[in-house]
């Protein structure tokens, strides 16, 4: 196996959970998420082979993968008219089998599944900002840089997205959310 | 601050603080719920297969397609020019051959005319008049 392929395999294994999770939470659909994640990695493979597009560090690779994945996921939603709201049931079945069982963080699987479902109902821009903030634990500044948006826009999306989620959760998840 | 202002600000501030607390609590729940999930079984293997497949090389090949198209166009143009050249040369050659044949025919006719005239003269001198259409 060539050195390039060995390095590529290492990067895939290191970042596959991040890339797939991002794609899944933005598209809300398992098959589309895998396709988006694979395409993002293959673009990385081509970039590794192009000396003019050198990725200089692990941080640079992570930033690059997050940006490409988010762009490809939002493109997939628009191109294929994937409606995350409609795909929410599939998401719940695939991602959170074993409802009622508490996970390592003490969260009830049903509650996690319901939060995911509510997330899929958010408008695209808010959903992307919320996923990057709470899944990837990125600051608003980092999100703004990644998406090429003003920080104020990102903060507004985060604030409105969070309030919208909180309001929906208060109605549909009374037993979990105060 | 007037009593009226206090009455208005007081409950609002308390309400905001409670609201912020609830939102912060909700944020914590959300952060715990949104942990990364595992990629599907065999995900890495499928990517490695795709990266090694000829279809991937097609992407690289597409970059050179413009150049290939230009080369094909130029080859076509050269072939057409050669065909035209050969056809043109053939035409010129045929015309030259025709002109040479015409000239040879004209000379032959002149020679024949001259020979006939001499023969007629000799016969007249011998007292024979063939009266060939004259």
Residues of A in contact with B24 (CB under 8 A): none
> pLDDT of B42-61, one tens digit each?
999 999 999 888 665 444 34
Q: What is the pLDDT of residue A23?
A: 97
Report the residue from B22, B29, B36 with minimal CB separation from A135: B36
What is the sign of the dihedral through the CA atoms of A23, A26, A28 and A32?
negative
Q: What is the pLDDT of residue A94?
A: 53
Q: How far apart are the first and last CA of chain A?
A: 55
Query: C-alpha A75: how far from its chain's center?
Result: 14
A44 neighbors A68 (Cβ within 8 angstroms): yes
B44 neighbors A16 (Cβ within 8 angstroms): yes
The answer to whether the Cβ–Cβ distance between B33 and A137 falls below 8 Å is no
- In 3-state terms, what secondary structure has residue B29? helix
- In 3-state terms, what secondary structure has residue B42? coil
A16 neighbors B43 (Cβ within 8 angstroms): yes
> pLDDT of B62-95, one tens digit each?
444 444 455 666 777 777 778 888 888 888 888 8
The answer to whether the Cβ–Cβ distance between B29 and A20 falls below 8 Å is no
Q: Where are the domains of chain B?
A: 1-34, 85-134
CA dist A134 and B33 (Å) reads 9
Q: For residue A108, report the phi and psi dihedrals to the nearest 5 degrees.
A: -70, 135
Q: What is the pLDDT of residue B132?
A: 52
As a whole number of Å, the CA-based R_g of chain B is 53
Among A141, A128, A99, A159, CA closest to B34: A128
What is the sign of the dihedral through the CA atoms of A151, A153, A159 and A161?
negative
SS3 content of chain B, % helix, strand, coil (to 5): 85, 0, 15
For residue B107 the two structure tokens come to: 């000379």
Q: What is the pLDDT of residue B4?
A: 42
A143 neighbors A129 (Cβ within 8 angstroms): yes
For residue A177 the two structure tokens come to: 């959310």
HSE-up of residue B117 (Cα within 13 Å, Cβ side): 6
Residue B8 has pLDDT above 90, yes or no: no
The answer to whether the Cβ–Cβ distance between B34 and A131 falls below 8 Å is yes
Using N-to-C axis directions, what is the helix angle for B3-33 and A151-172, rounded to 10°? 90
Instruction: Tell me: ipTM over 0.90.
Output: no
Q: What is the pLDDT of residue A160?
A: 95
As a whole number, mean pLDDT of residues B127-132 equals 65
Q: What is the pLDDT of residue A126?
A: 96
pLDDT per residue of chain A (178 residues) written in tens, 0 to 9: 565 788 899 999 999 999 999 999 999 999 999 999 999 999 999 888 776 667 778 899 999 999 999 999 999 988 876 455 545 555 545 555 544 445 545 567 788 888 888 999 999 999 999 999 999 999 999 999 999 999 999 999 999 999 999 988 888 876 655 5
CA dist A161 and A86 (Å) reads 19
For residue A32 the two structure tokens come to: 């589309």
The answer to whether the Cβ–Cβ distance between A134 and B56 falls below 8 Å is no
For residue B81 the two structure tokens come to: 């020019």
Whether A122 and chain B come into contact, CB under 8 Å, resolves to no
Q: What is the pLDDT of residue B73?
A: 65
The answer to whether the Cβ–Cβ distance between A134 and B23 falls below 8 Å is no
A1-82 sits in which CATH class? mainly alpha
CA-nearest residue of chain B to A106? B32
> pLDDT of B11-49, one tens digit each?
444 457 777 777 788 888 888 889 999 999 999 999 999
Q: What is the pLDDT of residue A43?
A: 93
Question: Model pTM?
Answer: 0.63
For residue A114 the two structure tokens come to: 């319901």
Residues of B in contact with A20 (CB under 8 A): 37-40, 43
| Chain position carrying tokens 């990644």 | A146
Q: Where are the domains of chain A?
A: 1-82
> pLDDT of A107-147, one tens digit each?
677 888 888 889 999 999 999 999 999 999 999 999 999 99
CA dist B88 and A124 (Å) reads 68
């Amino acid at each position: 196996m060539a050195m390039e392929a060995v390095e590529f395999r290492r990067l895939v294994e290191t970042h596959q959970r991040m890339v797939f999770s991002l794609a899944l939470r933005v598209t809300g659909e398992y098959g589309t998420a895998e396709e988006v994640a694979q395409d993002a990695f293959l673009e990385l493979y081509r970039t590794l082979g192009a000396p003019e597009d050198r990725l200089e560090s692990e941080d640079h690779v992570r930033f690059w993968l997050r940006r490409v994945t988010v762009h490809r996921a939002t493109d997939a939603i628009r191109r294929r008219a994937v409606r995350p709201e409609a795909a929410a049931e599939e998401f719940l079945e695939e991602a959170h089998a074993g409802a009622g069982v508490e996970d390592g963080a003490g969260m009830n699987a049903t509650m996690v599944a319901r939060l995911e479902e509510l997330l899929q109902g958010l408008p695209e821009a808010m959903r992307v900002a919320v996923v990057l903030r709470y899944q990837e634990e990125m600051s608003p500044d980092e999100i703004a840089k990644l998406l090429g948006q003003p920080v104020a826009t990102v903060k507004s999306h985060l604030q409105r997205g969070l309030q919208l989620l909180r309001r929906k959760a208060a109605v549909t998840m009374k037993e979990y959310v105060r | 601050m007037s009593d009226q202002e206090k009455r208005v600000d007081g409950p609002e501030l308390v309400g905001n603080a409670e609201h912020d607390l609830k939102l912060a609590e909700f944020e914590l729940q959300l952060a715990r719920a949104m942990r990364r999930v595992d990629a599907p079984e065999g995900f890495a293997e499928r990517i490695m297969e795709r990266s090694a497949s000829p279809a991937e090389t097609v992407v690289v090949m597409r970059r050179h397609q413009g150049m290939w198209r230009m080369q094909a166009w130029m080859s076509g143009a050269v072939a057409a020019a050669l065909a035209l050249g050969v056809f043109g040369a053939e035409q010129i050659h045929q015309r030259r051959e025709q002109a040479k044949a015409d000239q040879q025919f004209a000379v032959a006719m002149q020679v024949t005319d001259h020979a006939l005239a001499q023969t007629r003269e000799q016969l007249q001198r011998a007292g024979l008049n063939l009266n060939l259409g004259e």
